[in-house]
């Protein structure tokens, strides 16, 4: 049987173990200092060995709220660094999002295309939804291939995949055409397994409570739109 020594733990496991240990109230000040010093050594080593830069495929999925919101935080950071960004909305679009108005202040850096016509239960026209999703994907490919754009957000594309408006094989083939340093974010619940497997960063938002489901509270400005 092996011992749980630092040499036998990977960095994540060792950091987790050190966190558990420093939470113990029985540690002396000196023991606490040594534990935190070791944690810093592990973290510094990981950072030193990390790859300097890589274009990421990022998936925000799950039934919880905040998938697009988290992606827009990355958009804002990219704009702050002076990068060019493209946003393509696959499902939303029947209403004018406040984000689009805000991002108009960076109109020289951002391209925003709301190419859906609203949620699927609003359109009630599968053929038109298919056409809109196809057009949105073709527009997405333009930006995915364009080296001038540092970040591309494909908002609610996972819904289009889940509804079979797009084929996951086509999307994966398109993502393979991106320049090496470009980041692409794909949002929406129900991300297919093949996309999750291909992605570099996957976050699943878990629904615990929601004001509409639990209290009948409608979407509110500044919160949902």
Name the maximum alpha-carbon separation found in the chain: 69
Catalytic residue among 67, 92, 132, 178: 67
Catalytic residue among 156, 162, 182, 187: 156
Catalytic residue among 14, 35, 61, 68: 68
Catalytic residue among 40, 45, 77, 101: 77
Residues 6+ apart with CB under 8 A from 195: 59, 158, 161, 168, 171, 172, 186
Residues 6+ apart with CB under 8 A from 147: 179, 182
Catalytic residue among 52, 53, 107, 121: 121
Q: Check: CB of residue 65 under 8 Å from CB of residue 203.
A: no
Catalytic residue among 34, 65, 139, 198: 65
> Radius of gyration of the chain from Cα atoms?
22
Catalytic residue among 34, 38, 69, 111: 69
3-state secondary structure at position 88 = strand
Catalytic residue among 111, 117, 119, 139: 119
> Does 103 qualify as catalytic in the annotation?
no
Q: Within 13 Å of residue 125, how many CA atoms lie on the same side as its CB? A: 10
> Does 121 qualify as catalytic in the annotation?
yes
> Does 77 qualify as catalytic in the annotation?
yes
> Does 178 qualify as catalytic in the annotation?
no
CA distance 62 to 187: 9
Catalytic residue among 63, 95, 122, 167: 63
> Does 90 qualify as catalytic in the annotation?
no
> Does 156 qualify as catalytic in the annotation?
yes
- Residue 203 is inside which H or E element, if any? strand 201-204
> Does 106 qualify as catalytic in the annotation?
no
Q: Check: CB of residue 159 under 8 Å from CB of residue 90.
A: yes
Enumerate the active-site residues.
63, 65, 67-69, 77, 119, 121, 156
């Amino acid at each position: 049987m092996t011992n749980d020594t630092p040499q036998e733990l990977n960095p994540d496991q060792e950091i987790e173990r050190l966190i558990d240990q420093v939470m113990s109230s029985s540690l002396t000040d000196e023991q606490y200092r040594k534990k935190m010093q070791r944690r810093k050594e592990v973290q510094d080593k990981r950072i030193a060995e990390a790859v300097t830069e890589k274009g990421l495929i990022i998936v925000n999925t799950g039934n919880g709220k905040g998938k697009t919101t988290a992606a827009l935080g990355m958009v804002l950071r990219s704009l702050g660094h002076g990068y060019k960004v493209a946003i393509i909305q696959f499902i939303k679009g029947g209403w004018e999002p406040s984000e689009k108005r805000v991002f108009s202040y960076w109109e020289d850096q951002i391209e925003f295309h709301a190419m859906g016509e609203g949620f699927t239960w609003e359109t009630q026209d599968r053929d038109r939804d298919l056409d809109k999703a196809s057009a949105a994907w073709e527009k997405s490919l333009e930006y995915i291939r364009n080296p001038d754009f540092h970040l591309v957000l494909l908002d609610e594309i996972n819904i289009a995949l889940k509804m079979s408006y797009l084929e996951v094989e086509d999307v994966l083939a398109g993502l393979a055409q991106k320049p090496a340093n470009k980041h692409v974010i794909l949002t929406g619940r129900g991300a297919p397994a093949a996309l999750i497997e291909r992605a570099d960063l996957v976050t699943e938002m878990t629904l615990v409570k929601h004001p509409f489901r639990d209290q009948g509270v409608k979407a509110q400005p500044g919160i949902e739109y």
